[in-house]
């Protein structure tokens, strides 16, 4: 068995992008602490990490993409909640009718990003929409979750952009 030194293994140094990512995650925890658990810090952290790019241009581009996608997904999430509560309270998210409705609405979610010429935001639109209508439709107040989901993402985007551009 060779000793590690004899293998000439060199590890790359920990770069600033890694450090800034850790700082952004920590700052999301700090903001979440002051929000008294109103949101889900995980969503802020994902958004901050998504915005952590090698250049300012790509950081801003990714932030815009995430923001547009989040807005579209939240809009359709709200629309689904309204439709379900006012017109179809008897359907469940996982029964056949609920599954078909959610699947049909995905068409509108994606198509909206195509219409506004932001196809690259469609993935985030779908993620946000599905996180609202599949995971949290049964919450006591799904509207509150949808609002907080949007706010969590905005917080993460802001932190990610600021940390990356200011170079903490």
35 belongs to a structural domain = no
4 belongs to a structural domain = no
Burial 40-70 (b: 16+ CB within 10 A, else e): bbebbbbbbbbbbbeeeeebeebbbbbbbbb
33 alpha-carbon distance from chain centroid: 19
* Structural domain count, the chain: 1
109-160 pLDDT per residue, tens:
999 999 999 999 999 999 999 999 988 777 778 888 889 999 999 999 999 9
110 belongs to a structural domain = yes
3 belongs to a structural domain = no
CA-wise closest residue to 121 among 61, 162, 165: 61
Q: Which pLDDT band, with edges at 50, 70 and 90, does 168 fall under? A: low
62-86 pLDDT per residue, tens:
999 999 999 999 999 999 988 888 8
Helices then strands, each counted (H, E), the chain: 7, 0
5 belongs to a structural domain = no
Q: Which domain holds residue 154?
A: 18-29+40-166
Q: Mean pLDDT across the chain, nearest whole number?
A: 89
34 belongs to a structural domain = no
Gap between the Cα atoms of 100 and 104, Å rounded? 6
147 belongs to a structural domain = yes
Q: Which pLDDT band, with edges at 50, 70 and 90, does 92 fall under? A: low
Vertex 135 angle, CA 134 and 141, to 5°: 100
Gap between the Cα atoms of 19 and 14, Å rounded? 7
Vertex 22 angle, CA 21 and 25, to 5°: 85
142 belongs to a structural domain = yes
């Amino acid at each position: 068995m060779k000793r590690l030194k004899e293998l000439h293994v060199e590890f790359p140094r920990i770069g600033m992008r890694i450090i800034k990512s850790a700082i952004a995650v920590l700052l999301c925890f700090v903001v979440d602490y002051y929000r008294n658990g109103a949101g889900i810090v995980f969503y802020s952290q994902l958004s901050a990490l998504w915005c952590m790019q090698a250049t300012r241009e790509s950081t801003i581009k990714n932030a815009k993409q995430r923001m547009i996608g989040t807005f579209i997904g939240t809009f359709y999430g709200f629309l689904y909640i309204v439709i379900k509560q006012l017109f179809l309270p008897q359907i469940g998210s996982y029964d056949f009718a609920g599954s078909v409705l959610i699947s049909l609405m995905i068409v509108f979610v994606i198509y909206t990003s195509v219409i506004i010429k932001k196809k690259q935001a469609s993935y985030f639109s779908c993620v946000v929409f599905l996180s609202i209508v599949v995971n949290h439709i049964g919450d006591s107040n799904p509207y509150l979750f949808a609002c907080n989901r949007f706010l969590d993402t905005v917080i993460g985007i802001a932190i990610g952009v600021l940390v990356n551009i200011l170079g903490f």
